[in-house]
């Protein structure tokens, strides 16, 4: 049986480090509040004009491709996860194909926010297992800093997010190698889609949000145009999050989807070498760790230094764990994510 293994991994974060203290220049917040509620000490922000979601993805991809012993023209397919694309359309996949001078291979964009990378990995895994492709590039990249409300009004969201990119190259592995993805598990429930969302610009014409009570929005004023001066003037173009509601669902779905992956393969939490959770919020990761009875050394967290990088957070964390020498070949690793949609997902693999 053919499995897919991670043959190369890379990450890129912008040089600019933004501390919590620096954010206090723009909004009423404090280092203490941010660290206590989210665990975040600092995050990276992309260069405003020279770095985009695609340029960061390209840097991470170059490292992943080189570590796989390949060159860009060896890649057969791209799966690109992001919620902050360079353009509304076309997607970032084609821009990455162009940036790296790859062949005219297929390029697929995945729109699953925080679960995006795990979803993208699952898609790539199917292509490898069916024998359709041999070298699939899977990327998660985000430039959040360009689309956050840096006034006090947006502080509950803005302090959480950071920029960066992570990438892996998936290749076929024979079962005897003892490496590769054992299974992936994908879920969605759109019932509460508006709890964590960016409504504008969009085509909803107020349809979906009209029955919601949203702190930042007056229902009569949104959605009549794809984008309007009014939306901009009233700051209705920024992400909305009901933080406490997200927390409640996240701490239920994370453990559920991690256990689903473990049990599907006959494992228990104690068997895990490392859990790489989407870096949503340190409090969420700690809650999940406690619920699953995992030791500190079984859970990898780096949100303290990068903030929440959405689709990039899992590959960045996995890459750091690899670069720090924490992961040894064949170690049992679980990747897990939960995010806007809601969507949640996991992947269990032997490194």
Q: Is 81 in the site for ligand ACO (CB under 6 A)?
A: no
Contacting residue, 45, 238, 338, 351, with ligand ACO by CB under 6 A: 338
Interacting residues of 66 by C-beta distance below 8 A, sequence separation 6+: 8, 10
Q: Cα dihedral sign for 64, 66, 67, 69?
A: positive
38 forms part of the interface with ligand ACO (CB under 6 A):
yes
Choose the binding region for ligand ACO from 52-60, 129-137, 163-171, 240-248 (rule: CB under 6 A).
240-248
CA distances from 212 to 178, 193, 239 (A): 49, 11, 15
DSSP state, 216?
T
CA 345 to mean position of chain CA atoms: 11
Q: Kindly state whether residue 37 participates in binding ligand ACO, applying the rule CB under 6 A.
A: yes
335 near ligand ACO, rule: CB under 6 A: no
Closer of 165 and 246 to ligand ACO (Cβ): 246
Residues between 158 and 177 that touch ligand ACO (CB under 6 A): 159-160
308 binds ligand ACO, rule: CB under 6 A = yes
* DSSP string computed for 290-334: HHHT--GGGB---HHHH-B-GGGHHHHHHHHHHHTT---TT-EEE
Q: Vertex 201, ends 198 and 202: CA angle to 5°?
A: 85
- In angstroms, how far is CA 63 from the centroid of its own chain? 19
Q: How far, in Å, CA of 70 to CA of 144, rounded?
A: 30
Quote the CA–CA distance of 122 and 142 in Å, as a whole number.
Answer: 19
Q: Which stretch binds ligand ACO (CB under 6 A): 34-42, 56-64, 90-98, 286-294?
A: 34-42
Q: Is 350 assigned a catalytic role?
A: no
Query: Which of the residues 58 through 77 are near ligand ACO (CB under 6 A)?
Result: none
Residue nearest to ligand ACO (CB): 243
* Residue 246 lies near ligand ACO (rule: CB under 6 A): yes
User: Is 92 one of the annotated active-site residues of the chain?
Assistant: no
| Residue 153 binds ligand ACO, judged by CB under 6 A | no
Q: Is 78 helix (H, G, I), strand (E, B) or coil?
A: strand
| 308 given a catalytic annotation | yes
CB of 66 to ligand ACO, least distance (A): 30
Residue ranges that bind ligand ACO, judged by CB under 6 A: 29, 33-34, 37-38, 114, 155-156, 159-160, 196, 243-244, 246-247, 250, 280-281, 283-284, 308, 338-339
Catalytically active residues, by annotation: 114, 278, 308
């Amino acid at each position: 049986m053919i499995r897919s293994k991670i043959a190369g991994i890379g990450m890129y974060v912008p040089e600019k480090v933004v501390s919590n203290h620096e954010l206090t220049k723009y909004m009423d917040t404090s280092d203490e509040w941010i660290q206590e509620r989210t665990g975040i000490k600092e995050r990276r922000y992309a260069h405003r004009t020279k770095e985009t979601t695609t340029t960061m993805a390209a840097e991470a991809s170059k490292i992943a491709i080189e570590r796989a012993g390949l060159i860009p023209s060896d890649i057969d397919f791209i799966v690109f996860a992001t919620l902050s694309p360079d353009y509304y359309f076309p997607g970032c996949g084609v821009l990455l194909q162009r940036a790296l001078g790859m062949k005219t291979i297929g390029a697929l964009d995945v729109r699953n926010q925080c679960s995006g990378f795990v979803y993208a990995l699952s898609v790539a895994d199917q292509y490898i297992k069916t024998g359709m492709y041999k070298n699939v590039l899977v990327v998660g990249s985000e430039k959040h800093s360009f689309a956050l409300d840096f006034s006090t009004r947006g502080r509950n969201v803005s302090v959480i997010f950071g920029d960066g990119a992570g990438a892996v190259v998936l290749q076929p592995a024979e079962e005897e190698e003892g490496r590769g993805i054992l299974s992936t598990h994908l879920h969605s429930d759109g019932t509460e889609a508006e709890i964590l969302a960016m409504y504008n610009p969009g085509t909803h014409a107020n349809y979906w949000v009209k029955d919601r009570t949203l702190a930042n929005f007056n229902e009569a004023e949104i959605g009549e145009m794809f984008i309007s001066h009014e939306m901009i003037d009233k700051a209705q173009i920024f992400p909305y999050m009901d933080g406490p509601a997200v927390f409640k669902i996240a701490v239920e779905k994370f453990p559920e989807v991690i256990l689903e992956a473990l049990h599907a393969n006959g494992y228990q939490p104690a068997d895990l070498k490392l859990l790489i959770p989407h870096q949503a919020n340190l409090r969420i990761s700690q809650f999940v760790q406690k619920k699953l009875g995992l030791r500190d050394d079984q859970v990898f967290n780096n949100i303290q230094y990068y903030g929440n990088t959405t689709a990039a957070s899992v590959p960045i964390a996995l890459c750091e764990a690899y670069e720090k020498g924490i992961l040894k070949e064949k170690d049992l690793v679980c990747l897990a994510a939960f995010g806007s949609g809601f969507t949640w997902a996991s992947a269990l693999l032997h490194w």
